[in-house]
Structure 1
Amino acid sequence: MHGLTPPLPPRLLSPVLTLALAAAAACGSDASDDPSACVVDRFAAQSTARFVAGETFYLPRLADEGGCGAAQWTLAAAPGESVAELIDGADGLWRITPQVPGDYRITLAGAEDEAIELTVVPAEARPFTNLNYYPARSVAEVNGELWVANVQSPSVTRIDPNSMAVLGEHPVGPWPVAIAWREGMSYALVAQRGNDALGLVDIASGRLIDAIWVGDEPANVVVGPDGRRAYVALKSEGAVAIVDLEARVRTQRIEVVADPLAMALSDDGGTLYVASHRSGHPSRFPFESDPIAAERDLAVVDADSGEVIDWWLDIGTTITGMLYDGASETLFLSRIRNDTEADLGDTEAPSFLHEVAAFDLQSGSELRAADLTRQASSGGHAVSLHALALAGGSLWVAAEGSDLALALAPDSLAEQARVATPGRPRGVVAIGEAVFVHGAQQSAVTKIVGQAAAGEVTTTAADRRPQEVAAGQRYFTGAGRDYAANWSCNSCHTDGLSDTLVWNAGPFSGRKVSRPFFWLEGTYPLGWDGYLSSVDNYAFTVNTNVGVRPTTSEHRALSAYLASIMPPPPANGLTRRDGSLSEEGARGQAIYEGQAGCATCHPLPLTTTRTLLAEGITGGATDIPGLIGSYRLGVWLKRGEATTL
């Protein structure tokens, strides 16, 4: 029966059998005299001296023709405890995902010179690098247990949902942000955003048995009802990857909305709903608005054909959570709506509306919506809403900025209860009548039964962030004070990037799009006007935007967090698998540094001269921004007038 045992990928063989078959097949072939001639593509940018456990190593590509069809890589030596296997991927690349530190030797049968010496080090041996990825579906039911993705730590934790006892913590790949599983599957799926892979974790052993490359920044995953197919949101590609779980390969890539994150699948698995996270809105007041037709906030996808069959336009500016309810034929969304023309100092103005909305599945029309801060039944501010779940007749939603979970009446969205849930919660899942809320920043899971907290557990002790960085991230994602109690730093600089909106914010008047936060150290001055000399200066000055006069510890923490945010890894959907430039990318670099003249203002490696221009491409004084990772931003230039690269 499908799913009771992990499906074997093509040509996954034991080392001894691999050697025997490779040697026999090589006899009489065109490559038998020199099997190394079968190697046609190497991924030399990968480290072999300090390769990190849980990452996936890609072996040199082997040719299919010229007698090379039977060429095989072989795992000749490995640490005694290792169960890692070489996998001949259906995408044409061999791979291995070692979990046990130590020395590995991989050889090409019949070619003594074709050997790869791989030294694997523990994940904790690598210094913390803040890629600043946030969770999506970080808690899930797996085979009667509660599984938690630990996000900043490369592990998942298993919890008994009845007793809240921790059953085990198991290593996976870097930056696990989402988990998915279906009844009958013998493994759980983990979206590993830090290495562009979908991890397969064996339920019985807790071991990461494979990792399937899916594309750049897999931010969320859902799996079909039969457990044979997975759908992965590729956040920076504006696409969804379809993965054949039996063949363990990406079979299709569907272009959907910009910056996809929240997803839901119909009960029969036939329809996939995908929402844009930082979708923005048409208004760029006081500048020219974008056309409403361009505001494709949600794609409705025929899951069988992979075709987009409908678009829902302008349904939110930041969309964070989605829940399919077939019984009521309703799609619930959590979102922010913004009025960017309003005065941010006016507490009655609708600058930020933190809403849950219900939509008709057939027509896409909005049925009802509630601002959870301002509706009559509200118990107060509820800032930055995220995941949703139905349990015990209530619709539950996590409010990250307020450290809350709120219960709503599904038919009216009136507030029924609010429960304190620490850790800046984003993840919510229902198991039976209980609700479990995950605050990844504090590695905390809160259990709610009825409408009251019924237990709490810490999922991992291995938060690898420096203490000040962790405190700064908590500050950054928490609600402001006084006039700014209804938003956070993260409301505009969403997950360290930009909400793509044009705001009148900062110490100087003038409307500009929110700037992203990464690689701030070394690329100062900061701000579109270049008015800030350092990250430390920035971390003190910008607090006026969230109504805070920071203490020394708050200022230092925010500075540490902002300074820690790094650009994304070099590998993405347009590079080679090891992050090196493709042939097309190399041609682009030559143009960039040559005839296009880009390097005059944006020289490598910083891609900025750190110069303040009296007049930029957009009028007015402009700091020359760095371009590393700029493909992720969503809008470009000071007024957001460029919506594509």
Structure 2
Amino acid sequence: MEMIIHLIFVFCYPANNRQKLLPKSPLGGCHSMKILAQVLSAALLLLLSTELLAGPLSEYRSPVAVVLAKDGHWLATANQTSGSVSLVDVASGQVTDELACGTHPSFLQKCLDGQHLVVTDTFGGKVRILEINDGKLLPKATIEVGFEPTGLAVSPDGQTAYVGLVATGEIAQLDLAAGKLVRKLEVGAWPRYLALSPDGSRLAVGCSGESRIAIVDVPTWEVAYTEKLSGGINIGHMQCSADGKYVYFPWMIYRSNPISRDNIRRGWVLGSRIGRVRLDDSEYREAITLDVPGTAVADPLGITMSGDEKRLIVAASGTHELLVYRRADLPWEGIGGPGDLIDPKLMRDPDLFGRIELGGRPMGIAMADDNRTVYVANYLKDNIQVVDIESREIVREIPLGPSISANQIRQGEAVFYDARHSLDQWYSCHSCHYNGGVNSKAMDTWNDGSALTMKTVLPLDNLSKTGPWTWHGWQVDLNDAMHKSFTTTMQGRRASEEEKEAILAYLNTDRFPPNPFRAKDGSLSAAAQRGKRVFESSDANCASCHSGDYFTDGKIHDVGLGADEDQYEGFNTPALVGIYRKVRFLHDARARNLEEVLTDFHSPEEVSGTRALTEEEISDLVSYLKSL
């Protein structure tokens, strides 16, 4: 299949350049072209029949990460919706090559001799190594790692890589020269991004599912300590200081207060931060607040630092901007801080803090050696923006493909990730429904008619097929639900009919990975097969409510978990598809894992009055639930 996709990229090249990308044929170049035509014809039929090219966003590149050659001659991007890596000649601004590299790549780094790239194929469960040779990308090795590899860090010698496995809460160590997996270590839920100290001895891992930073001692391969980010969600990319003392990262914080206009504007609902944690010793994190009254910052993700460490730069993807700071004079605060709004000191000095409007959705960023030029992977603009952070202007934009008008689904995607639809642009749909899924907190959205009745965020996959909506199931009109999300939960303006239709079209696309707890052919493990029988048994009685394709009957049930403060009685049966992605369970997050759900708060004897399940049955049932 990879060869088929590569041939399609070859076909897209000008005719006079195709020959050098083809394998040599003993019968000559003309014969190679005939073979190409035959294979490509069959490939297109196969791909169309399996809908691998039929994805609604596949016509866009959607870059999410960017790396720059040491000499600045080339840059490379990981393109999420096209499943490719692009190689760009910086001087000419031309894409010299593009190579298919799996499904939903999320991150890339330079490795080995600096003329290789390592890329995470997140939905494919692989890490891929590519060689850069004479302006071309060549596949060199593929390492099976499983369980949604996302962020990467590479050792100073380029020989070793570390990757976060989001679905299992592990990091994996890879030998890049040998092209093999070496070992894994459990670090905590959702280790999306990580960074390695300059000497390679300490690895910082942002565990968004547990609101903490884990510091791994690499030589002993143990978690040395963790630092809590109280209320923290959505930890972004990570950047180590040159002296190896700190790791810097952006994140958002949820403050557990009712959603009201005053609370939002005080920073008491959601806010954005930059933090730093010690790499050499356990010490409470330090942070600064990013949010400006009236024009807050949302969804910070990318981070980099100038080589002289004068500047710290963050990409705020929800508010479409670069944030530029003078690092040495930032007012870091530890215990008891920072405040809920930006320190006035930053507002008084334009050299200490500046904002550069970029548009689109800026994500990964890379810094040039001149300490002033930043390259930005802009997801929605489908380009690389070259930004001068000292003059505060976009110097040029490098397109990664032909200009394509946004279709309805792409328009809906833009709305979903746009914080400017909320009051004073404090947060976007994505801030709570991370990439359309869930976050790690129970939140008070005011969408159920009562204040301070915290609810876990429900995922938005299969949305139109899993009504009614909300935990209490009172919402039976999806258009009205969308309206309330913008006007009540986000306290923003009413979405237009066109915007609502677009965002629903986007949410109805398949944006989630194949289940990593199943075999590659989709089959169940032996334990999951046994668990399926337990799930369907009268003793467990799960299937009496969790039924159908999405494991929900769409009905309201009183399972004994309500509170006096609830406006509605009973709970809507939640769908179980993709439940492995969650780290908090039941409506109020009282259960921290599936075992606790099944043995305590939602056990068969509590809900159905049947018998308690054995330890073996619980284990098998959990295996089955994770496979859904």
Give yes or no for TM over 0.5. Answer: yes
For the residue of structure 2 that corresponds to 1:438, the secondary structure is strand
Letter in 1 for 2:216: V
- Identify the match of residue 266 of structure 1 among 197, 201, 225: 197
Equivalent residue for 2:617? none
For normalisation by structure 1, the TM-score amounts to 0.74
The equivalences for 1:286-365 within 5 A come to 297-314=212-229, 316-327=232-243, 329-346=245-262, 347-365=265-283
Q: Does 1:561 find its partner at 2:506?
A: yes
1:81: how far off?
7.2
Letter in 2 for 1:339: R
For the residue of structure 2 that corresponds to 1:341, the secondary structure is coil
- Identify the match of residue 546 of structure 2 among 599, 602, 624: 602
The equivalences for 1:113-132 within 5 A come to 121=47, 126-128=53-55
For the residue of structure 2 that corresponds to 1:188, the secondary structure is strand
Equivalent residue for 1:469? 409
For the residue of structure 2 that corresponds to 1:169, the secondary structure is strand
Q: Does 1:275 find its partner at 2:206?
A: yes
The equivalences for 1:5-16 within 5 A come to none
1:157: how far off?
1.3
**Distance in 1 between the 2:285 and 2:90 partners?**
34
1:233: how far off?
0.8
- Whether the aligned pair in 2 keeps the contact of 1:101 and 1:120 (CA below 8 Å) is no
Equivalent residue for 1:71? none
For the residue of structure 1 that corresponds to 2:225, the secondary structure is strand
Letter in 1 for 2:318: G
1:279: how far off?
3.3
- Identify the match of residue 316 of structure 2 among 378, 382, 399: 399
Q: Does 1:220 find its partner at 2:151?
A: yes
Letter in 2 for 1:396: I
**Distance in 1 between the 2:473 and 2:402 partners?**
40
- Whether the aligned pair in 2 keeps the contact of 1:169 and 1:460 (CA below 8 Å) is no
Post-superposition Cα deviations, 1:158-187, rounded to whole Å, max 9, x if no partner, equal 223344333232222111111111361443
- Identify the match of residue 434 of structure 2 among 491, 494, 498: 494
For the residue of structure 1 that corresponds to 2:574, the secondary structure is coil
Equivalent residue for 1:153? 82
Distance 1:135 1:244, change over 3 A: farther
Deviating above 4 A after TM superposition, structure 1's stretches of 4 or more consecutive aligned residues are: 79-84, 100-104, 117-120, 122-125, 134-137, 614-619
Segment of structure 1 superposing worse, 595-604 or 394-403: 595-604
The count of residues paired between Structure 1 and Structure 2 equals 525
Q: Does 1:372 find its partner at 2:290?
A: yes
**Distance in 2 between the 1:403 and 1:251 partners?**
39
- Whether the aligned pair in 1 keeps the contact of 2:194 and 2:204 (CA below 8 Å) is yes
The equivalences for 1:630-645 within 5 A come to 630-645=579-594
- Whether the aligned pair in 1 keeps the contact of 2:160 and 2:176 (CA below 8 Å) is yes
- Identify the match of residue 208 of structure 1 among 130, 133, 139: 139
For the residue of structure 2 that corresponds to 1:272, the secondary structure is strand
Letter in 1 for 2:208: H
Equivalent residue for 2:469? 526
Distance 1:565 1:531, change over 3 A: farther
**Distance in 2 between the 1:311 and 1:498 partners?**
23
- Whether the aligned pair in 1 keeps the contact of 2:302 and 2:364 (CA below 8 Å) is yes
- Whether the aligned pair in 2 keeps the contact of 1:279 and 1:499 (CA below 8 Å) is no
Equivalent residue for 1:190? 119
Structure 1: 5+ residue runs without aligned partners?
1-47, 56-78, 85-99, 105-116, 281-296
Post-superposition Cα deviations, 1:251-287, rounded to whole Å, max 9, x if no partner, equal 211111211112000111121110112435xxxxxxx
For the residue of structure 2 that corresponds to 1:139, the secondary structure is strand
Q: Does 1:478 find its partner at 2:427?
A: no
For the residue of structure 2 that corresponds to 1:491, the secondary structure is helix
**Distance in 2 between the 1:340 and 1:485 partners?**
18
**Distance in 2 between the 1:152 and 1:82 partners?**
25
For the residue of structure 2 that corresponds to 1:599, the secondary structure is helix
**Distance in 2 between the 1:412 and 1:52 partners?**
53
The equivalences for 1:581-592 within 5 A come to 581-592=524-535
Letter in 2 for 1:188: L
For the residue of structure 2 that corresponds to 1:327, the secondary structure is coil
Equivalent residue for 1:437? 376
Distance 1:386 1:267, change over 3 A: same
Segment of structure 1 superposing worse, 159-168 or 509-518: 159-168
Segment of structure 1 superposing worse, 241-250 or 622-631: 241-250
Segment of structure 1 superposing worse, 607-616 or 169-178: 607-616
Equivalent residue for 1:53? 5
**Distance in 2 between the 1:54 and 1:256 partners?**
36
1:596: how far off?
2.0
CA root-mean-square deviation: 3.3
- Identify the match of residue 628 of structure 1 among 545, 559, 577: 577
- Whether the aligned pair in 2 keeps the contact of 1:174 and 1:195 (CA below 8 Å) is yes
Letter in 1 for 2:430: N
**Distance in 2 between the 1:101 and 1:607 partners?**
45
- Whether the aligned pair in 2 keeps the contact of 1:601 and 1:624 (CA below 8 Å) is yes
1:500: how far off?
2.5
Counting aligned pairs with the same residue, the percent is 24
More helix by share: 2
Letter in 2 for 1:531: W
- Whether the aligned pair in 1 keeps the contact of 2:102 and 2:124 (CA below 8 Å) is yes
Equivalent residue for 1:74? none
Letter in 2 for 1:439: N
Equivalent residue for 1:72? none
**Distance in 1 between the 2:528 and 2:436 partners?**
26
Segment of structure 1 superposing worse, 620-629 or 184-193: 184-193
1:324: how far off?
0.4
Letter in 2 for 1:210: A
- Whether the aligned pair in 2 keeps the contact of 1:386 and 1:426 (CA below 8 Å) is yes
**Distance in 2 between the 1:490 and 1:364 partners?**
32
Equivalent residue for 1:177? 106
**Distance in 1 between the 2:188 and 2:62 partners?**
19
